[in-house]
Each structure stands twice: as structure tokens, then as C-alpha cells.
Structure 1
Amino acid sequence: MHASSPNNAGLLLIAAISGRALAASARRAGYRPLVADFFCDTDTVALAERAMKLPGDLQSGIDGARIIETLHRLAGNDRSVPVVLGSGFERQTDLVDEVASIFPLAGNGARAIRRVKDPQMLACDCAELGIPHPAFQWEPPPDPESWVIKTVGGAGGVHIERATGGTPPAGRYFQRFVSGRSVSALFIGDGKSARIVGFSRQWVSPAPAAPYRYGGAVRLRRFDRAQAEMIGGWLSGLTRRAGLVGLCSADFIHGADGYRLVEINPRPGATLDIFDCAEAPLMEAHLRAARGEAYRLPRFADSMASMITYAAAPVPQFPAIEWPDWTADHQSPGTILIAGDPVCTVFARGPSAGATQRAVKAHARQLQHQWEGDRT
């Protein structure tokens, strides 16, 4: 690895299905992001020093044959530029190894990702560490109505469906359904222990073919201290076992019998927007933790929510919209959308989680009218 030239100082490669939140966090931390993602939304392009389409698509995944070429072009063939990988790589961990062999990887390597995304290995680790975790199995259960089917390495909820009793295709597994509220912990690992950034409550935006599609999240102002310490201990145990570094998240279901860990996301995730701040940028904390250095965590006095809006019906030609400043991930005018495509992300702030969640949903309804009209 050679030293960066002055022109390349502060550059940071970002590759993800959607890289806008990572690019915004990088800018807050004073970096110059070079972004490869599937969408190249208008605000992503505005945030990025340079932006290119990530090779591949949502259906078939990232094109491993072309990703290194794309990153080389973004970095101007400078192999010293560090790279942050977001969503899309959990199912293709061989690409993580490939990228890490060329560029300095700021985050979890393939080995750590495989450990926490392998359902059997995660279940074993949870059992040995005393972490409540839903039962899992590869074979169809005798009571399918009590189970869901997931994809190994899946993200965003679109891969989850209720079990019907049939044999799933390769790469799919069964997890016992747990009723309760969805709670996520954003945390930072240093390979040995975990520090929790904060907790959020999440909700789904169901679609006919994706009943558990991710809808949004609201940052919780208050969380029981004893429960936070308990969860922090669980996450430190998993961090030591897998060697997790940098920003990660853990999804739980909070039911009548307490918290159950559903999955670990070993990368900066969907709640980055609602936890990041200019005073203690999370991208800086992520990069420092990945290098084994000390870092600062932000403090919060209010609540914040983010919500993804989806096209409820086809949009033959997306209209030109004057986007409010409480939106991001903007569709470009003229884009053709099919039902279910993401349109934008909406934000809101408020004094409590409940009020903020209501506000962000009201914002979304107000905005959706501009491309949906009156759907009667």
C-alpha cells in the first residue's frame, strides 16, 4: 500500500446497495466520499466527490466480476483509499475478501460477517453465551404457521415470509416466529467488546410479496438501564467471538418473555441517519474503531425517525418535485417506477418516540400525494 497523494487526502470509498446515508455521514466527519451504489440518487451524487452505479441489480446482487474495476475508477487507481461496505455484501462474502485484498477495508471482513450471518453458527453462539434467540432449522417444521423463512445474509426484511410447509430453496432457512415489538441496537465493536450508540423501534411497510419489508425506525429517548446493560453484555460476547469491528446493529423482538436476538447486521445499517450528528460523527467512530483507536459517541436530547416511502402503484414518469429538507434518497425526474420501488426517505424530529413516529408518517402521507395523486 502506498501513501495517498495530497489530492487524495480524506477520500473514502463507499460501496452499498444504497450509499447515500454513508456518504452523508462521511461528509459530516470531513471525508470526501466516492460512492458506488445501485441508485445514484440525486442527493447521493451531490454528496459524493464522485459517484458511479454499483455493477449488478437488486434481483441478482452485486456483479463480482466488475466491482473491483468500479472501485478502481472511483479511486483513480489509488489502492490506499479505505473502503466502507454497506448493505448487499452479506450474501456475497467472497466479494468482501476480494475488495479487502485490494483496498484497506474499514469494517468487518468476510470471516466475521459469515460468523454472525450463518444462522446455525449464530444460534450456537447465542446458546453458549446465554442469549435468548428464536429456534432455527433447515428442514420444514411440522407446524409451519409458527415459523418464518429467511435468506442467509438477507437484509431489509424483503427476504422474510411466513412459512407454508414446503421445502425452501438453497440458502433459505426457518426461524421460529416471535411476537412482540421490533427493537434495534446500534453498536460499535472493537473486536473485543461492544459499545451501544442507542436503541430504536422499527416498523414494517408490508407488501403482498414482502410482508416484513422494512418501513422505518424511530430513535428511543429512554431505555431501561438494566436492560441496556444486559444487551450490551450480549453484544460484547458476540463481538469477541466474531471479532466485530465498527458500526453494527442487532435486531431484537421484545415480547412478554423479554428480549430475543433475531439477527446481527455487521455493517452500518438503516438507522445510521437517526443516530448520526456533526458533534460526534459516527463515520469517524466507525473508522477509528476499525483501526483499534479511541472514538467518541454522540449524545441525544430528542427523538428522530426515518421512514422509506415506496411506490404503491407504477409511476410511468416520476414528476419533478421540490424536495423538502426533511427528505433524502430522491428519485430523479422522469424515472420509471414499478409498484414497490423505494421513492425517498422521510425524516422527522420530536420530543418523544411516539410523537416523532406519528410526525414522520404524516410527512410521508403529505409527500406521497405528489406522485400518487388521489388514489380512489
Structure 2
Amino acid sequence: MRDAVLIAAQSGRALAQAARRAGLRPFVLDLFGDEDTLDLAEEHRVLPGRFGMARRGAEAVLSGLDVLAERAGNRTLGVVLGSGFEDAPRLMARIAARHRLIGAGPGTVAALKDPGLFAALCARLAIPHPSVTTDPVEDRRGWLMKRAGGSGGSHIRAVTAGRAPPDHYLQKRVTGHACALNFLAGGRGIAVLALTEQWSHPSAVRPFRYAGAIAPGRGEPASLPTKLFTEITAAVARIAEATALQGLASADLLVDGETWWLLEINPRPGATLDLLDRRPTPLLLQHIEASLGTLPALDPSPVDAAGSEICYAAQRYASMPPLDWSDFTRDRPRAGSLVARDAPFCTVTASGPNSEAVKQTLRDRAGAIAALLDGREDTHGYRHQAAEHQRAGRAAGRPSGR
């Protein structure tokens, strides 16, 4: 019998897919229970509540993992945590007391996702990071309000008068092109997987919600000058070493000419996992190896570019009808399930000879999903927009992030 791996995440589909590619049996705990997740999982349990539900739903997480561990048997490698635990290092510590954690530990997550601690660390390491505060600010237009430990742009809001609410903080606005350095950390140093381009799909109340990303093909011109890329990579490596970060992670950046800002480190497999797991060696195996403190040797990067984009529901679906899903879709809601208005409906994927070709294909495919949902033949109603981003949070009903 093959080894098993436990997966707990807001959406476990991408990790379950990576586990299957690595020859492992995935046992998945997530909020969605999407159609393709159920097809991939050896066994699945749906979590109630919200993400970040981690602190409020701690007992459900622990009991769910215990049940899955029992079903998986004694050939279980451990637990891989995806999105949703950034604000819950104490819960991570409780999980680690029962199961082996694969990836960043609770102390690392606490150091990276506490806004004050992270800002102080960046200052100590001379890494450019926007100023943060919880105090009232004079020019509210020059700041953004974020939820501590939030994932994705859905939690980012305009600043209101007074102090930041509990579990929130203010971050000074900075400008630049949004990208992310995706890497493996283990022991000393990091191994860079890709510099991905990111964009948002703004809504009226969520102007920074995450939409998608593209990993460039091997032969494409570098998007950053070599000197700047080297500077950013060295800075991220210093952060990884200072926090004992291990496993797959990403650094969200804004780059404006020769000026750049590190917004945050995401110490987990993230929304770009599908784009990164295209080398001959399965990425989840390398995530496990890096989590043991050894940086793996990377295969050459893929020749083709690849991208993915989240399609958000323009209306509420109390009961999803059965759909004939295209091969380019992922995270497919089950027939009969609830999808809230403005929540993620599905993800579209594409590959091609270069980033521009992939962008166009994503536009077309997202438009086709929009037409499918509202019965139009026009496939251009879903716009591709470039903007700042973070990763997703939650809308009413179906959670608004992965």
C-alpha cells in the first residue's frame, strides 16, 4: 500500500492533485468538498464554518484530522497545511502534538504572519516593507486596512477613522507591479521555483481580491533585471533563515522600476501550486524533502508558460445544476451545492508558449465560464485586470478563497 498524507486547507484540491502526482494517497479536510477534490481524495471530510475558521473551528479541525489519520492507517507521512492557518499558530501547535507537520512550524508562522513581528524582522534585516500600525492615521487614503493572518485580497479594506479593529492592522500604501517569488526553503538558503505574475479581480467591496497567476516559460525574457532579482532572492533567503522556514512558500512583492517592497511571506503551498508542479520530480515530494531540512536539486523549469484564474460567481446559486465541465476547469462545485454571489465558482487553467498567449487563453476560458453561468453566447464578460493582490478570504456562503 502506498503512503498516505493528510491535507487540511481551505481548499484541498490542488494539494490532493499534487499528492496523487507524487504517488501518495491524499486524505483531505477542507471547506468545499468540490467534485474534483472528491475524485482525487482517498477520503474526504468537509469542515463547517469559515476560513480563517482555524481558531474558531479548532476542535472540528483536530477531530477531522484524527478521523482521517485513523482511516489512513500507520503508513501516514504527516499533515500538509494549506491556506487558512496563517492566523492560528496555536492550533498548528496542537496539530503538531498529534500528527507530524510537513512544512512550516507554528513558531515560523507566528513570526511571519504577525504584522508587528514581521515588520520588525524586515527592518532588522534591511528589507523594504511598508510601514504598519494599529494607531489612527492622519491621511487615511495613504493606508490600507488588513486582517492579521489574512490570506488573499478579500480581507483588504479602505481605512476607517480611529484605531484598527481587533485582529486588524493598517499598512501604508505602496505602488508597483504585483509578483511573487515561489521557492523551497530548507536548512540554509532557498531554491527558487518561479517568479509568477499575479493579478486581482476587483469587486465593489473587495478591490484587491486575488484572481490568478502566470508562471513564465523557460525561454521568456526575465521580468526583472538580474541585479534586482538577486537582491530580492537574497532578502527572502535571509527571512527564511531567520525564521527557520521549511518547505514550499512564496513571497508577495510589489516592484516599481528599481524599487521593490516585500508585502508578506506565505509559509505554505499556495494558489500557484498547479503552475509550479510541472517539473519531472513531483513538487510535493520536494516539499517533504525541504521540510526535513534538505534543499532538493530542481529539474529545469518547464518550457511552456502556465496560468490559472479564479472565476467568481456573479449571482447566488442555492443549488448548483449538473454541468459538463471542460478539462481546463478545476475546483468544480458539486451539483446541489451552494455557491454564494461573489464567491469563487471554479478555476480555469491554461498553458502555452509564452505568458501573453496564456493570458489570452485564460481570458477566453474565463469568459466561457461566465457565459455558461448566465446563458450568454458572449464570452467576453469576465475581464482580466492587473492590480495589487493578496490571497483570498471569505464571502458569505462558499468561502471566497483557496
User: Hey, what's the Cα distance between the residues in 2 that align with 1:102 and 1:56?
Assistant: 23
Cα separation, partners in 2 of 1:257 and 1:161, compared to 1, 3 Å = farther
Aligned partner of 1:44 among 14, 31, 37: 37
Structure 2 unaligned blocks of 5 or more: 382-402
Residue 331, structure 1, aligned to residue 369, structure 2 = no
Runs of 4+ in 1 over 6 A off after TM superposition: none
**1:27 paired residue number:** 20
Letter in 2 for 1:215: A
Partner of 2:101: helix, strand, or coil? coil
User: Hey, what's the Cα distance between the residues in 1 that align with 2:21 and 2:297?
Assistant: 14
**1:74 paired residue number:** 68
User: Hey, what's the Cα distance between the residues in 1 that align with 2:91 and 2:52?
Assistant: 17
User: Are the counterparts in 1 of residues 197 and 215 from structure 2 also a CA contact under 8 Å?
Assistant: yes
User: Hey, what's the Cα distance between the residues in 1 that align with 2:192 and 2:226?
Assistant: 12
Q: CA deviation at 1:133?
A: 1.1
After alignment, is 221-230 or 253-262 more displaced? 221-230
Partner of 1:228: helix, strand, or coil? helix
Q: CA deviation at 1:358?
A: 2.1
Q: CA deviation at 1:66?
A: 2.3
Q: How does 1:215-226 map to 2 (within 5 A)?
A: 215-221=211-217, 222-223=221-222, 224-226=225-227
**1:301 paired residue number:** 303
Structure 1 unaligned blocks of 5 or more: 1-6
Q: Which protein has greater RCO, CA pairs closer than 8 Å, 6+ apart?
A: 2
Letter in 2 for 1:18: S
User: Hey, what's the Cα distance between the residues in 2 that align with 1:251 and 1:34?
Assistant: 29
**2:127 paired residue number:** 131
**2:352 paired residue number:** 350
Q: How does 1:108-119 map to 2 (within 5 A)?
A: 108-119=104-115
After alignment, is 299-308 or 365-374 more displaced? 365-374
Partner of 2:310: helix, strand, or coil? strand
Q: How does 1:1-376 map to 2 (within 5 A)?
A: 7=1, 9-58=2-51, 60-61=53-54, 63-76=57-70, 78=73, 81-221=77-217, 222-223=221-222, 224-277=225-278, 279-298=280-299, 299-374=301-376
Cα distance per residue 1:145-177 (max 9 Å; x no partner): 011011111001111112233432111111111
Q: How many residues align?
A: 369
Letter in 2 for 1:57: R
User: Hey, what's the Cα distance between the residues in 2 that align with 1:147 and 1:352?
Assistant: 36
User: Hey, what's the Cα distance between the residues in 2 that align with 1:60 and 1:11?
Assistant: 25
Partner of 2:153: helix, strand, or coil? coil
Partner of 2:98: helix, strand, or coil? coil
Cα distance per residue 1:325-370 (max 9 Å; x no partner): 1111001122232211211110011222222112112101112211
Letter in 1 for 2:45: M
**2:395 paired residue number:** none
Q: CA deviation at 1:20?
A: 0.5
Q: CA deviation at 1:297?
A: 2.4
Letter in 1 for 2:29: A
Cα separation, partners in 2 of 1:236 and 1:111, compared to 1, 3 Å = same
Q: CA deviation at 1:121?
A: 1.6
Partner of 1:76: helix, strand, or coil? helix
User: Hey, what's the Cα distance between the residues in 2 that align with 1:225 and 1:327?
Assistant: 35
